[in-house]
Chain A
Amino acid sequence: MRVGRLSDVPRSVLIIEDDPRIRRILQMTLQREGLDAVEADSGETGLERLAERDFDVILLDLMLPGKDGFEVCREIRRTSNVPIIMVTARGDSHDVVAGLEAGADDYVSKPFVAKELSARIRALARRTRAPQPRVRIEVGDLEIAPQDGTVTRAGEPVNLTRTEFKLLCELATEPGRVLSREELLERVWGYDYFGDSRLVDVHVRRLRKKVEEDPGHPTVVTTVRGMGYRVPG
């Protein structure tokens, strides 16, 4: 299992987008921001590029000819935890949720502004906030090492994506405190305002599948109805 390099500043982005004009514009914009932007015109090409080298962030259009974005996303997730930003049709609720379920970390909707996109990329690539070095957090039989970016359950490593890991860390570093969806959006995804709370909900669902003994009756990350989520202290 490969993990994208942990760096505060993302260096490389893979753009999987079939529209050549958008691809070109994105590449130029991201390159201006100092990113190494690599283009791929289909899901298949994108997977090939990803097999050749690592990227810090992947930008994935959901509407692709041939292998569609959801399928590509699932395939990337089988081998990598690299942050994925999907590009969806605006307001297509179904696409957003399906894309997140397939393993995407965040999304932008067309038409989007390049600045919005680079803000998303930077936020995703950011390291988790680790207050003290070498701290280990224990929640039940889970052991979280924020510095190393690893989680073990009864000694067995648990494979989380970068975003799932950040989410778990935010909740676990303040056990007992309820974090609202808005707070989590700000801390994990870097949204100042107007975030989509579905991002949080779907990620919590994904996280539970990996860390809970019975995801139907969560004990690690619990829901506080109408308020948010917490890790019981």
Chain B
Amino acid sequence: MTATRSRPAAPLPADVEPIAAEPPAERRDRTGPLSTLRGRATLAFTVVTLVLSAALAVAVWVAVSQYLLLQRERSTLIQTSNNAAQVQRALGTEGLTVPQLLAQLPRETGSISLYVDDGQWGTTSLLVGRDDIPTGLAETVVEGTPARQRIGVQGTTMMAVGIPLAGLDQAYFEVFPLDELDRTYRVLATVLTLAVVGMGPLSFTVGWWVTGPALRPLQRIATAAEAIAGGDLSARIDPRGDPSLVPIASSFNRTVTDLEARVRADARFAADVSHELRSPLTAMLGAVDLVEATADRLPPDGREGLALLRSEVHRFERLVADLLEISRADAGNADLVVEEIRLAALVEETLARRRLAGRPTARLEVRATAAEVVIHADKRRLERVLSNLMDNADKHGGGLTAVTVARGEDSACVLVDDDGPGIPPEERARIFDRFARGGGSIRTRTEGAGLGLALVARHVQAMGGTVTVGESPSGGARFVVELPLQALS
């Protein structure tokens, strides 16, 4: 027996990398969430929301700060005017000194009163004196024009308001601290900034949440299209529950129905043709056998002709059998018989049969994790897949070198390696097409119906798996059949 099974404890050979390291190329998803339509729509939504909310915040800032300032100015002016009037009145009566008078004035917390009479200044606070009132402002007011100005007193901003009094060179000033207003500005600025910043994640979330349902119809179309591209021609879009989907769904479904009918017609034609060929072929095979029984009575060239006829009829038979099988597979999966199969045992059995039939076999390696793995598959199809891949390795790949059974995350794999020159990357997708024999010079010389690998692809697909081709450690081709562990629905 040449097939060996690795013991569970045996280390993996260095030249075989774990299967998880090579997922099928086309399944690899290189796109992040932001390159999807939904991601882009959400991003656009977020940007627009951010710009709008920033603009709104600026507008609010300008309006509110202007309004607050205006209010402040108005209230300071009113208070100053009232107090100036009171000072004016008090000056006419006897009894109170100027400092006493100033101290009695009703005023807002923190405001400071100053009084000037012919260059003599009085103040209610030591913090603010005549030096703090700008000369320009003082002069303007003393000369008879009420005025106000922002001033800086020991690092804080204040508002100085001056009202001229009736007497010559008399004026009343009141200085209001503006730090209260500044604090309000700061709070407002903080609140607005936070609002704008917080808007980002919020609008992204809302955008994501809203675009989901909005793009769901598109998602359904994409799912259906993907299923069809994957070979499931029965996939349709169900427009129920989404009126916006009805027009596109009906035209999509109509197109797919037409396509399905054409594909079925093609498949039926191929099936009918090969079906019709079976009876004459049976008669031919029988007739060749009959003639062969009397071959020793034929002249040498007659014998050679018979040998040629025989090999061609057998080739024809295999071709018709393959054609029949593939067209039947195309017509549907009605005869799919899914059962529990121990993959390693089946592969071993297939190799043993080849040995019995005198065909070349190869080393079988069963990875420790895959020894007992049970899959749900159609045994006949899976056997066909394995023997076709092995035949392919023999016919086109310079001989089978290794067969490996491995286990992926939720799948089981069979790797079939050959000793040929390998298959160039640009031909790897085409190799599973019908009657595709690698381009170039590699495969054209050898005989082959060109249906073996197409059948492999068809059967593997019917069982919910994938088949890909890559490079074996020795540089030959490596076919990887990946089958799901879960049963097909």
Interface residues of A (CB under 8 A from B): 19, 21-22, 25-26, 28-29, 32, 89-94, 110-115, 182, 192-194, 196-197, 226
Given A111-B285, A226-B342: A89 in contact with B278 (beta carbons within 8 A)? yes
Interface residues of B (CB under 8 A from A): 275, 278-283, 285-287, 289-290, 293, 317, 320-321, 324-325, 328, 334-335, 337, 340, 342, 349, 352-353, 356-357, 379-380
Cβ-defined contact, A194 with B285, below 8 A: no
Cβ-defined contact, B290 with A22, below 8 A: no
Residues on B with C-beta less than 8 A from A90 are 278, 321, 324-325
Known: A21-B279, A94-B335, A112-B282. 9 other contacts (CB 8 A): A25-B287, A26-B286, A89-B275, A90-B325, A94-B334, A110-B279, A111-B278, A111-B279, A111-B281
The 8 closest A-B pairs by CB, nearest first: A25-B286, A93-B335, A111-B281, A110-B278, A111-B282, A21-B283, A193-B353, A114-B289
Tell me the minimal C-beta distance from A86 to chain B in angstroms: 14
Cβ-defined contact, B282 with A110, below 8 A: yes
Tell me the minimal C-beta distance from A193 to chain B in angstroms: 5
Q: Report the bound CA distance from A90 to B380 in whole Å.
A: 13
Given A89-B275, A91-B325, A94-B335: A25 in contact with B293 (beta carbons within 8 A)? no
Name the residue on A nearest B313 (C-beta).
A111
Tell me the minimal C-beta distance from A142 to chain B in angstroms: 29
What total of A-B pairs shows CB separation below 8 Å?
Answer: 74
Q: Report the bound CA distance from A26 to B281 in whole Å.
A: 13
Name the residue on A nearest B357 (C-beta).
A193
Residues on B with C-beta less than 8 A from A25 are 282-283, 286-287, 290
Residues on A with C-beta less than 8 A from B352 are 193
Residues on A with C-beta less than 8 A from B325 are 90-91
Q: Report the bound CA distance from A21 to B293 in whole Å.
A: 19
Tell me the minimal C-beta distance from A16 to chain B in angstroms: 15
18 contacts between A and B (CB under 8 A): A22-B279, A25-B282, A25-B290, A26-B286, A28-B290, A29-B289, A29-B290, A91-B324, A91-B335, A93-B380, A94-B335, A111-B278, A111-B282, A112-B282, A113-B286, A192-B356, A193-B356, A197-B379
Residues on B with C-beta less than 8 A from A114 are 285-286, 289-290
Residues on A with C-beta less than 8 A from B281 are 110-111
Residues on A with C-beta less than 8 A from B337 are 93
Cβ-defined contact, B282 with A22, below 8 A: yes
Name the residue on B nearest A18 (C-beta).
B279
Tell me the minimal C-beta distance from A99 to chain B in angstroms: 14
Q: Report the bound CA distance from A172 to B268 in whole Å.
A: 47
Cβ-defined contact, B278 with A91, below 8 A: no
Residues on A with C-beta less than 8 A from B289 are 29, 113-115
Residues on A with C-beta less than 8 A from B283 are 19, 21-22, 25
Tell me the minimal C-beta distance from B475 to chain A in angstroms: 33
Q: Report the bound CA distance from A77 to B325 in whole Å.
A: 31
Tell me the minimal C-beta distance from A143 to chain B in angstroms: 35
Residues on A with C-beta less than 8 A from B282 are 22, 25, 110-112
Q: Report the bound CA distance from A196 to B380 in whole Å.
A: 8
Given A111-B321, A226-B340: A19 in contact with B290 (beta carbons within 8 A)? no
Residues on B with C-beta less than 8 A from A192 are 356
Name the residue on B nearest A113 (C-beta).
B285
Q: Report the bound CA distance from A26 to B279 in whole Å.
A: 12
Q: Report the bound CA distance from A26 to B325 in whole Å.
A: 25
Cβ-defined contact, B293 with A32, below 8 A: yes
Q: Report the bound CA distance from A182 to B356 in whole Å.
A: 14
Q: Report the bound CA distance from A193 to B387 in whole Å.
A: 13
Tell me the minimal C-beta distance from B385 to chain A in angstroms: 14
Interchain CB contact (< 8 A) of A91 among B280, B317, B328: B328
Cβ-defined contact, A22 with B342, below 8 A: no
Interchain CB contact (< 8 A) of A112 among B285, B290, B357: B285
Name the residue on A nearest B286 (C-beta).
A25
Tell me the minimal C-beta distance from A111 to chain B in angstroms: 4
Tell me the minimal C-beta distance from B210 to chain A in angstroms: 50
Q: Report the bound CA distance from A114 to B293 in whole Å.
A: 12
Residues on A with C-beta less than 8 A from B342 are 226
Tell me the minimal C-beta distance from A41 to chain B in angstroms: 14
Name the residue on A nearest B314 (C-beta).
A113
Q: Report the bound CA distance from A196 to B337 in whole Å.
A: 13
Tell me the minimal C-beta distance from B486 to chain A in angstroms: 18
Residues on B with C-beta less than 8 A from A94 are 334-335
Q: Report the bound CA distance from A28 to B281 in whole Å.
A: 16
Residues on B with C-beta less than 8 A from A21 are 279-280, 283
Residues on B with C-beta less than 8 A from A182 are 349
Tell me the minimal C-beta distance from A79 to chain B in angstroms: 29
Residues on B with C-beta less than 8 A from A110 are 278-279, 281-282
Residues on A with C-beta less than 8 A from B356 are 192-193
Tell me the minimal C-beta distance from A118 to chain B in angstroms: 10
Q: Report the bound CA distance from A90 to B282 in whole Å.
A: 12
Q: Report the bound CA distance from A115 to B288 in whole Å.
A: 11
Residues on A with C-beta less than 8 A from B286 are 22, 25-26, 28-29, 113-114
Name the residue on A nearest B279 (C-beta).
A19
Name the residue on B nearest A95 (C-beta).
B335
Residues on B with C-beta less than 8 A from A28 are 286, 290
